Amino acid sequence: MGPSAHIRMALPGDAAALALVGAATFLESFAGVLDGRDIVAHCRQQHAEHVYAGWLADDAFRTWLVLADQGDAPVGYLVLGRADLPLDDLAADDWEVKRLYLLGRFQGGGLGRKLVQLAEEQALRRGGRRLLLGVYGRNERAIAFYRHMGFTTVGTRTFRVGARQYDDLVLGLNLRLA
């Protein structure tokens, strides 16, 4: 088990911290898998501070931030929003985990599970019937984690980083009605 951390709802002033941990975890996950220049360009666009500021300002999204207990450094997060995935049966009451990132040192201690549970609870409160997400099709560790949480494959999509396209799995979890 790694260092301890805690989770709180992200605040409007957290955009820079989210952008930093987003880029750091993307680099940590995909260095040696994807082209380095493509990773840098992807992070510059997809993990820009304004992307997170937009999500934080929009009531349609919920974001949780993970902070290290010692020093409160940002080490992970989850962004939840309305589902926007290429599925034939996509419905208005589907919710999507847009991003779930956690630095490697903080994985394996239950934080990922807690983030997914928070997303489930929030989606249910908002009338959700299904929680969806996309995951790189060769990220076996992440896929195993999601399967352990009860997600199943419901589709596929392509994901572009730089000039190359990669195959993602789209996973879904039917939410329990309270």
Q: Domains, the chain, ranges and CATH?
A: 5-128 (3.40.630.30)
Whether residue 52 lies in the annotated active site: no
- Distances in Å between the Cα of 37 and the Cα atoms of 30, 40, 74 are 12, 5, 25
State the Cα angle at 16 between 118 and 96, rounded to 5°: 35
0.85 exceeded by pTM: yes
In contact, 171 and 119? CB cutoff 8 Å: no
Tell how far CA 156 is from the center of its chain.
17
Q: Which of 52, 101, 136, 146 is the catalytic position?
A: 146
Q: Partners of 99 in the beta sheet?
A: 79
* Alpha carbons within 13 A on the beta-carbon side of 111: 29
Residue type, 14: D
Q: How far apart are CA 129 and CA 114, in angstroms?
A: 19
Per-residue confidence (pLDDT) for residue 128, from 0 to 100: 96
Per-residue confidence (pLDDT) for residue 162, from 0 to 100: 86
In contact, 164 and 38? CB cutoff 8 Å: yes
Reported residue count of the chain is 178
At 69, give phi and psi (nearest 5°).
-60, -40
Instruction: Convert 35-99 into a string of H (helix), E (strand) and C (coil).
Output: CHHHHHHHHHHHCCHHHHHHHHHCCCCEEEEEEECCCCCEEEEEEEEECCCCCCCCCCCEEEEEE
Mean pLDDT by 10 residues, the chain (178 residues): 89 97 95 92 96 97 97 98 96 97 95 98 96 96 96 95 91 82
Per-residue confidence (pLDDT) for residue 177, from 0 to 100: 56
What confidence tens digit (pLDDT) does each residue in 62-94 have?
A: 999 999 999 999 999 999 999 999 999 999 999
SS percent in the chain: helix, strand, coil, step 5: 35, 35, 30
